[in-house]
Structures are given as structure tokens and as C-alpha cells.
């Protein structure tokens, strides 16, 4: 028996909203090991600004939230999943309040802000830095829980499956993961009877993204290589308003700025251009519509950016609602209380991912998944603002509850082979990693971006194929580093995105192609089978 398997019952990969929610639920009865790449706060959760969507207002209804989610998702959502998540939102917010998340309040009630695609005010928030407050509360609870062990600086490489059993059992189960301890440089087998994948999205596959450095799709790529299906990877969400600044890249300007009255203008003519694209919903149209409109303005008029302006609101209002953004921009010489903010669209969210059911189960026995690395059916062809953290809380809990409910059936971990480093040496050509990393991200931005064509997708596919042997060769011959692990996964995810995009012969939600501008009558998932 591997020593580590006797120490922990369940392995959770990821310490964001999904992973820590799962860990806290499991820890009521089981011993949980949580691994994170880099710091425990390195995921997207800590960066979330706008908030969490939940029906809490008397004038609002579950049906309205369900309808808004399905309108944004262009009908590709799974209705059962949408109902499942939205009906559990108020309870998820209650749990966060119990953990001490200091949500904004007005006269004692939770203050609700508004974002694009929502027909009501329904976003609970902590100023404009909701994610940081949520991450801190979850982490504090996990750190205080004696049944949870948190290990940062562990870069998981691959899931442990039947191929790694010392004596092949044929059970097809997942038994944990191999991970690089970045402090020692050693690869360890972290075994467990059940594994929950919560490793976040793949945003960094694009050159411009609001996602943090580590969002390289590791969870999706690991699950795919182990044999799990992935779905709807072509549905990559671009946020309309990322700050345009030559020094500070990837700084999001929350959609709540538009929710609280922010308007978009052509920077030279001052034309409020959303009236040409969606006269009814204007700046509060769903993200795909607003991002495409900005992309069109930038390309058509040769602009570097457009203007987002909320300076018609009082300076007190702006400072009170957006203290973090206001402060950050002031440091860059932009005063949003008196003038506009230059913005561009950037990749923001991975709607596709590992296929899961309502219990967070993947195709592989022993492997669950939750959060941004999954495709649960909630978001469909486009995620409604602030539905993502919600999905993490609901599916983190659902996956953990399923493990608890069936724990007696989880078999003991068999003997697992150690990581084999006998045929690798230290790399003498790190430049290969940098070159390929940059090439993939630029190519994805240029060929697989907001507006697509079949020709550009085919060009992207050719380039990805050319890189395959080079990356696999490098991986096979050199000792792993986090950069190499990430490059291998970025490449894998880029391939899955392009394959999926080439299969969808229609425009729907986030997948917009000039070759197939119409939307089919029937909505179908793009499911890739390993």
C-alpha cells in the first residue's frame, strides 16, 4: 500500500471555489488532501470582481434566472442542470454568509447589483472584489479544519489510472494524481480512493486573457488523457471590457460598471455604438453580443480600444461601488470619476470542459469534477455573468455529497508504480517551451478568436499538429517543470478547442463563424471522445 493513500481518503485538485467547497463538505466525515499549483490563492476565484448570481429579491423568480441563463446560453444549456444550480443558489449564499463572507448590505438586506443578461438585480457582491473575500473565507475554514490538508506548490501532471497499477486490475478507476513538488523537484504519487478535479479553466491558451497565469487547462487535459469526454470546448467566453494599458495586462473592468450605468463609446467620434448592435439591451446585452460589437468597432475603424464611461454618475457613487478598480486606475493616471476607461475584449471564461452529471461524476470511476474545468450543462453556448462561482459552490458540494453517499463502495487503493524518471535528463533548451507557449497563444488569439472562419481554424489545426511531436518529444526526454506541464496542457486544450470549433457548422452564442452565420434549429453539444 502506498504510504500517502493511508493518510487521506479523497484527493482534491485545486483550491479555488469548487475545490474548497468540495473539501469542506467532504471533511465532515473524510480526510481530504487539497493540492494547488503555486499559491493556494492562485486560481481565478481570488480575481472575481462582480459577484455571485442568486434569486434573493422579492420581485425576482427562479424562472426568470433560468430564462436569462438559457437566453445567454443560446439554448445549448441543459435545462435540468440550469434548474438544479439556480434553485440551490440561495442556500449557497447562506453557507457563504455563515463562513463570514462580508457581502455588501443595504438596510440589512444583501445589496444586489446588476450585470449584462440579467433581467433583475440579483448579484451579491463584496464591493468589486468578491472573489478575494470568498477565497479568503473558504481558505480560513479549510485551514481550521483538522480533516483537510492543504498542499500548495504541487503541479499535477497526470491522473493515476489502471496503467499505473503495479498489478493491473482492469477496474478502470482513477486513483489520484502524480504531481511535481516544485520545492524539491520530485514527482510524487498522491493516491486516493476518490479524486475531485477542480483545476479551473484554460484561459491562458489565448494571448489576451483576464485569467491568472496558471489557467492553462491542466484539469481538462489530464481528464482527457485519462479517458474522460470533454464537451463544447469551442465556447470560449471573451469579456467585453478588459483594461487597455501597455503596462498592466489582463486587468478586468467588471461588468457591474455597465450594470450601474456605464456606457460604451467610440473613442474618437463619441458615438454610443451599442445602439447599432442591440438597441434594446444596449450595454447590458449578453457578453458575446457586447464583445463582438467592440471587436467589430476596433477592426472596422482600426482602433486600439473603445471607451467605457461611468463618469456621469457622482464621484461618491463610483468610488463606493468600485473602490478596487478606481484605486487601480488612479495609479495608472486614469480617473474613472471624471473620464472614460480605455477597454478591449479579452478571453475570460472556459464554458466547455470535462463532461459531468448532476453528481459531479465524470466518465471515469473514482473521478469527479467541479467548477470551470467542467461542462455541466449550465452555461451552454455562453455563460451568464456571475453564474460561474455559483456553479463552483453547487457542484463542489454535489460531487462531495455523492462521494460521501457512496463511500462504502470506494475500493482501497492498490499498489501504484512510482513516477519513472530513469530515461529523462534536465532540459538544456528551455527556449523551446517559451517559443511554443507564445506561438500557441498568439495563434489562438488570431485564428480562433471572437469571429472565426473555417480557413483560419484549419490553419490553427495545422500549426497545432506541427507542434505535437515537438512537445511530446520534449516531454518524453526531459525532467518535468511546471512550465513544461503547462505547455503540454495548453497545447492539448488548443487542440480540443479547434477540433470542437471545426465540428460546429453554425453560429451559436460564443462560436461565431463567417462560414456558417445561421443558427441551427436544434442545439447540439460538441462532444469529443478520447
Which residues would be at the binding site for ligand FAD (CB under 6 A)? 13-19, 35-38, 42-45, 47-52, 130-131, 154-156, 198-200, 210-211, 214, 218, 252, 349, 371-372, 386-389, 392
Q: Are 20 and 392 in contact (CB under 8 A)?
A: no
Helix (H, G, I), strand (E, B) or coil at 150: strand
Neighbours of 240 (CB within 10 A): 30
198 interacts with, out of ligand FAD, ligand SIN, none, CB within 5 to 8 A per kind: ligand FAD
Query: Nearest-CB residue to ligand SIN?
Result: 50
Q: Which stretch binds ligand SIN (CB under 6 A): 186-194, 253-261, 330-338, 480-488?
A: 253-261
CB of 44 to ligand SIN, least distance (A): 9
- Would residue 504 show up in a list of annotated catalytic residues for this protein? no
341-350 sheet: strands from edge to edge: 236-243, 341-350, 306-309, 263-265
Q: Considering CB distances under 5 to 8 angstroms, the limit depending on partner class, which of ligand FAD, ligand SIN, none binds residue 238?
A: none
Q: What are phi and psi of 421, to 5 degrees?
A: -115, 15
Measured from the CB atom, the residue of 255 and 506 that comes closer to ligand SIN is: 255
Please report the sign of the dihedral spanned by the C-alpha atoms of residue 39, residue 193, residue 174, residue 399. Answer: negative
- Which cell goes with 492? 492539448
Encode 398-460 in three state secondary structure: HHHHHHHHCHHHCCCCCCECCCCCCCCECCCCCHHHHHHHHHHHHHHHHHCCCCECHHHHHHH
Give the span between the Cα atoms of 161 and 225, in whole angstroms.
Answer: 10
Kindly provide the b/e burial profile for residues 386-406, where b requires at least 16 CB atoms within 10 angstroms of the residue's own CB: bbbbbbbbbbbbbbbbbbeee
Sign of the CA dihedral with 53 first, then 55, 58, and 64 last: positive
Whole-number minimum distance, CB 53 to ligand SIN, in Å?
8
Q: Which is nearer to ligand SIN, 19 or 286 (CB)?
A: 286
Question: Could you tell which of ligand FAD, ligand SIN, none binds residue 416, using a CB distance below 5 to 8 A set by kind?
Answer: none
371 binds, among ligand FAD, ligand SIN, none (CB under 5 to 8 A by kind): ligand FAD
Q: Give min distance, CB of 125 to ligand FAD, in A.
A: 7
With CB under 6 A as the contact rule, the residue among 191, 388, 489, 492 that binds ligand SIN is 388
CB of 363 to ligand FAD, least distance (A): 19
Please choose, out of 28-36, 63-71, 265-273, 383-391, the segment that lies near ligand SIN by the rule CB under 6 A.
383-391
Pick from 43, 74, 49, 85: nearest CA to 201: 43
Q: Binding ligand SIN by CB under 6 A: which of 68, 78, 255, 309?
A: 255
297 near ligand SIN, rule: CB under 6 A: no
Select the span of 251-259, 319-327, 350-358, 489-497 touching ligand SIN (CB under 6 A).
251-259
- Select from 463, 485, 464 the least CA-distant residue to 474: 485
Identify whether the C-beta of residue 398 lies closer than 8 Å to the C-beta of residue 374.
no
Window contacting ligand SIN (CB under 6 A); options: 223-231, 254-262, 367-375, 418-426:
254-262
The answer to whether residues 244 and 343 touch, using CB atoms and an 8 Å cutoff, is yes
Rounded to the nearest 10 degrees, the angle between the axes of helix 218-226 and helix 482-503 is: 70
Shortest reach from residue 131's CB to ligand FAD, in Å? 5
Comparing CB distances to ligand SIN, the nearer of 195 and 388 is 388
Count Cβ atoms below 10 Å from residue 193 Cβ, excluding itself: 22
The packing angle between helices 388-405 and 89-98, to 10°, is 90
Q: Does 127 bind ligand SIN (CB under 6 A)?
A: no
Instruction: Give yes or no for residue 50 binding ligand SIN (CB under 6 A).
Output: yes
Q: Does 49 bind ligand SIN (CB under 6 A)?
A: yes
Helix (H) or strand (E) holding 367: strand 367-369
158 three-class SS:
strand
The size of the interface with ligand SIN (CB under 6 A), counted in residues, is 8
Q: Name the minimum Å distance from CB 152 to ligand SIN.
A: 25
- Binding partner of residue 131 among ligand FAD, ligand SIN, none, CB cut-off 5 to 8 Å per kind: ligand FAD
Our finding on whether 45 is near ligand SIN (CB under 6 A) is: no
Shortest Cβ distance from residue 90 to ligand SIN (Å)?
A: 18
Among 122, 287, 504, 508, the one annotated catalytic:
287
Query: Largest Cα–Cα distance in the chain?
Result: 71
Q: Could you give the string, one character per residue 209-248, with x where binding to ligand SIN holds by CB under 6 A and - elsewhere?
A: ----------------------------------------
**What is the smallest separation between the CB atom of 405 and ligand FAD, expressed in angstroms?**
22
Quick one: 132 or 475, whose CB is closer to ligand SIN? 132
Phi, then psi, of 236 in degrees rounded to 5? -100, 125
Secondary structure, 3-state, 339-358: CCEEEEEEEEEECCEEECCC
The residue among 225 and 463 lying less far from ligand FAD, judged by its C-beta, is: 225
Contact 39, 17 (CB under 8 A): no
CB of 386 to ligand SIN, least distance (A): 4
Q: Which one of ligand FAD, ligand SIN, none interacts with residue 372, CB within 5 to 8 A by kind? A: ligand FAD
DSSP string, 372-393: GGEE-SSSTTSPPTT-HHHHHH
By rule CB under 6 A, what string of x and - marks binding of each residue 87-126 to ligand SIN? Answer: ----------------------------------------
286 touches, from ligand SIN, ligand FAD, none (C-beta below 5 to 8 Å by class):
none
The contact set with ligand SIN (CB under 6 A) reads 49-50, 254-256, 385-386, 388
Q: Which residues are catalytic?
A: 287
Amino acid at each position: 500500500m502506498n504510504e500517502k493513500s493511508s493518510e487521506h481518503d479523497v484527493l482534491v485538485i485545486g483550491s479555488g471555489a469548487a475545490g474548497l467547497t468540495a473539501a469542506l463538505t467532504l471533511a465532515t466525515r473524510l480526510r481530504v488532501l487539497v493540492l494547488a499549483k503555486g499559491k493556494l490563492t492562485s486560481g481565478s476565484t481570488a480575481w472575481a470582481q462582480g459577484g455571485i448570481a442568486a434569486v434573493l429579491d422579492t420581485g425576482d423568480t427562479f424562472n426568470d434566472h433560468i430564462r436569462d441563463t438559457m437566453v445567454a446560453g443560446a439554448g445549448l444549456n441543459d435545462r435540468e442542470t440550469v434548474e438544479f444550480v439556480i434553485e440551490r443558489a440561495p442556500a449557497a449564499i447562506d453557507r457563504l454568509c455563515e463562513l463570514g463572507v462580508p457581502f455588501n448590505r443595504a438596510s440589512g438586506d444583501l445589496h444586489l447589483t446588476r450585470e449584462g443578461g440579467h433581467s433583475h438585480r440579483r448579484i451579491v457582491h463584496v464591493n468589486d472584489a468578491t472573489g478575494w473575500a470568498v477565497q479568503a473565507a473558504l481558505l480560513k475554514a479549510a485551514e481550521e479544519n483538522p480533516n483537510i490538508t492543504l498542499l500548495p506548490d504541487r503541479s499535477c501532471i497526470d491522473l493515476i489510472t489502471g496503467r499505473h497499477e503495479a498489478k493491473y486490475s482492469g477496474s478502470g478507476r482513477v486513483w489520484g494524481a502524480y504531481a511535481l513538488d516544485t520545492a524539491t523537484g520530485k514527482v510524487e504519487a498522491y493516491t486516493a480512493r476518490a479524486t475531485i478535479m477542480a483545476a479551473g479553466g484554460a484561459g491562458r491558451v489565448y494571448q489576451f486573457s483576464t485569467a491568472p497565469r496558471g489557467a492553462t487547462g491542466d484539469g481538462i487535459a489530464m481528464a482527457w488523457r485519462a479517458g474522460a469526454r470533454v464537451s463544447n470546448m469551442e465556447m470560449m467566453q471573451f469579456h467585453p471590457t478588459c483594461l487597455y494599458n501597455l503596462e498592466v495586462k489582463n486587468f478586468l473592468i467588471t461588468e457591474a460598471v455597465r450594470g450601474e450605468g456605464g456606457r460604451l463609446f467610440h473613442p474618437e467620434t463619441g458615438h454610443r455604438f451599442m445602439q447599432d448592435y442591440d438597441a434594446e439591451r444596449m450595454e447590458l446585452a449578453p457578453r458575446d453580443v457586447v464583445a463582438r460589437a467592440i471587436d467589430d468597432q476596433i477592426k472596422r475603424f482600426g482602433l486600439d480600444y473603445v471607451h467605457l464611461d461611468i463618469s456621469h454618475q457622482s464621484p461618491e457613487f463610483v468610488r463606493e461601488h468600485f473602490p478596487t478598480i478606481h484605486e487601480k486606475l488612479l495609479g495608472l493616471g486614469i480617473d474613472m470619476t471624471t473620464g472614460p476607461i480605455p477597454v478591449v475584449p479579452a478571453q475570460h471564461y472556459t464554458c466547455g470542459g470535462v463532461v459531468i452529471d448532476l453528481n459531479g461524476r465524470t466518465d471515469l470511476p473514482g473521478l469527479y469534477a467541479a467548477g470551470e474545468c467542467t461542462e455541466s450543462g449550465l452555461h451552454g453556448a455562453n455563460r451568464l455573468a456571475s453564474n460561474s462561482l455559483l456553479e463552483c459552490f453547487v457542484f463542489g458540494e454535489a460531487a462531495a455529497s455523492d462521494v460521501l453517499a457512496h463511500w462504502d463502495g470506494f475500493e482501497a487503493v492498490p499498489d501504484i508504480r512510482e513516477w519513472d524518471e530513469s530515461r529523462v535528463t534536465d532540459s538544456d533548451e528551455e527556449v523551446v517551451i517559451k517559443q511554443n507557449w507564445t506561438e500557441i497563444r498568439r495563434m489562438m488569439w488570431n485564428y480562433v478568436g471572437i469571429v472565426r472562419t473555417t480557413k483560419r481554424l484549419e490553419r490553427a489545426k495545422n500549426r497545432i499538429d506541427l507542434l505535437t511531436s515537438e512537445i511530446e518529444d520534449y516531454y518524453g526526454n526531459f525532467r518535468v517543470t511546471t512550465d513544461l506541464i503547462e505547455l503540454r496542457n495548453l497545447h492539448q486544450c488548443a487542440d480540443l478547442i479547434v477540433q470542437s470549433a471545426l465540428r460546429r457548422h453554425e453560429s451559436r452564442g460564443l462560436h461565431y463563424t463567417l462560414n456558417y452565420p445561421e443558427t441551427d434549429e436544434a442545439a447540439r453539444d460538441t462532444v469529443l471522445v478520447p
